[in-house]
């Protein structure tokens, strides 16, 4: 299963330091030896990366993404070749605002996360809901995937 | 001179290991300070905002249930949120208002009358 790693927003850093902090993160990642995904992770290039959870039961696969402060129309969900992609852009309410900013820890801009499914799912029956800043996608498992599971549990 | 810069500071000591620390944006406008906190999974019923002495504390209780079934992969911590800020007398604590929008808590902290910018008429 290939998932882009989540970049924890560095709490407590002031806006001018955010860039530097994410650069440091990227350097650490390089040193970790995981070159794959370096260019995919948009953290360094002005985006952000929401956290994603994947659950499954007998009937469904559930993907949960924390996307606070979005409009549901701005969330783009696509499914292709067994990979679910959630993308979008979180916009600042207005670009220019009066007054001084004291703390700026929230990330704005584009994001893009892909999750490959642990089993075959029925693409036509995928459902999604967005509530309290949390996106939940329900992906019903395909009949053959369910049949396989039953075999295993009987033996 | 900008005495306001010290008005809102996170008090480090109030961070407890079991709480999640929500990212915050703070901006000063003419009439008020605007504070935004990211708390996905919290609805307006799960928010507690308290002011005690000089400390503004925001607690967000998650109401969303994790999805059914077993965990395949997990990045979120799914904990309740808490964060405290030190505030001074330049804020009218009686008039703090809050709004919750898709996991973002927006607090308006109005400035006390005594610190608001005032236009002074020149009389001859």
Within a domain: B121: no
Within a domain: B73: no
B2 CB-near residues (< 8 Å, 6+ apart): none
Domain enclosing residue B53, as ranges: 3-63+78-112
CA-nearest residue of chain B to A118?
B72
Question: What is the domain-level CATH number for residue B107?
Answer: 2.60.40.790
Distance from the Cα of B56 to chain A's closest Cα (Å) equals 16
In this prediction, residue B123 carries a pLDDT of 85
Give the residues across from A79 on adjacent strands: A84
What are the distances in angstroms from CA B2 to CA A125, A140, B115? 57, 57, 12
In this prediction, residue A155 carries a pLDDT of 56
Within a domain: B70: no
CA-nearest residue of chain B to A65?
B76
In this prediction, residue A105 carries a pLDDT of 87
Of the spans A137-151, B55-69, B97-111, which averages the highest pLDDT?
B97-111
Q: B12 or B56, which is more confident?
A: B56
In the predicted model, is pLDDT for residue B102 greater than 60? yes
- The ranges of chain A with pLDDT < 70 are 1-47, 94-98, 148-155
What's the domain count of chain B? 1
ipTM for this model: 0.76
Tell me the per-residue pLDDT of A41-68, one tens digit each, with 9 for 90 and over: 444 555 688 999 999 999 999 999 999 9
CB-based contact (8 Å) between B65 and chain A? no
The structural domains of chain A, ordered by start, are 49-154 (2.60.40.790)
Q: Which of A118, A108, A107, A126 is nearest to A145 (CA)?
A: A118
Tell me which residues of chain A have a C-beta less than 8 Å from any C-beta of chain B: 1, 3, 6, 9, 11-12, 51-58, 60-62, 64, 66-71, 97-107, 115, 118, 130-134, 136
């Amino acid at each position: 299963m290939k998932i882009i790693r989540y970049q924890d927003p560095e709490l407590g850093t002031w806006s001018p330091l955010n860039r530097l902090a994410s650069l440091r993160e990227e350097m650490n990642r390089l040193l970790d030896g995981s070159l794959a995904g370096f260019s995919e992770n948009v953290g360094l290039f002005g985006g952000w990366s929401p956290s994603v959870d994947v659950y499954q039961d007998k009937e469904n696969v559930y993907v949960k993404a924390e996307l606070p402060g979005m409009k549901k129309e701005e969330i783009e969900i696509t499914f292709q070749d067994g990979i679910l992609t959630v993308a979008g852009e979180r916009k600042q309410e207005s670009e220019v605002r009066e007054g001084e900013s004291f703390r700026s820890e929230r990330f704005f801009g584009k994001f893009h996360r892909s999750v490959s499914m642990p089993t075959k799912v029925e693409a036509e029956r995928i459902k999604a809901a967005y509530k309290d800043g949390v996106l939940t996608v329900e992906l019903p498992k395909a009949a053959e995937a369910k049949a396989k599971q039953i075999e295993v549990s009987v033996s | 001179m900008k005495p306001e810069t010290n008005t809102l500071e996170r008090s480090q000591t109030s961070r407890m290991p079991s709480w999640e620390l929500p990212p915050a944006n703070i901006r000063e406008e003419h009439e008020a300070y605007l504070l935004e906190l990211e708390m996905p999974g919290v609805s307006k019923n799960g928010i507690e905002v308290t002011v005690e002495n000089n400390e503004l504390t925001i607690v967000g209780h998650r109401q969303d249930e994790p999805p059914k079934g077993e965990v395949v992969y997990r990045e979120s911590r799914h904990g309740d949120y808490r964060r405290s800020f030190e505030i001074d007398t330049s804020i009218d604590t009686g008039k703090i208002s809050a709004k919750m929008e898709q996991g973002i808590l927006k607090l308006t902290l109005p400035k006390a009358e005594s610190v608001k910018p005032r236009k002074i008429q020149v009389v001859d």
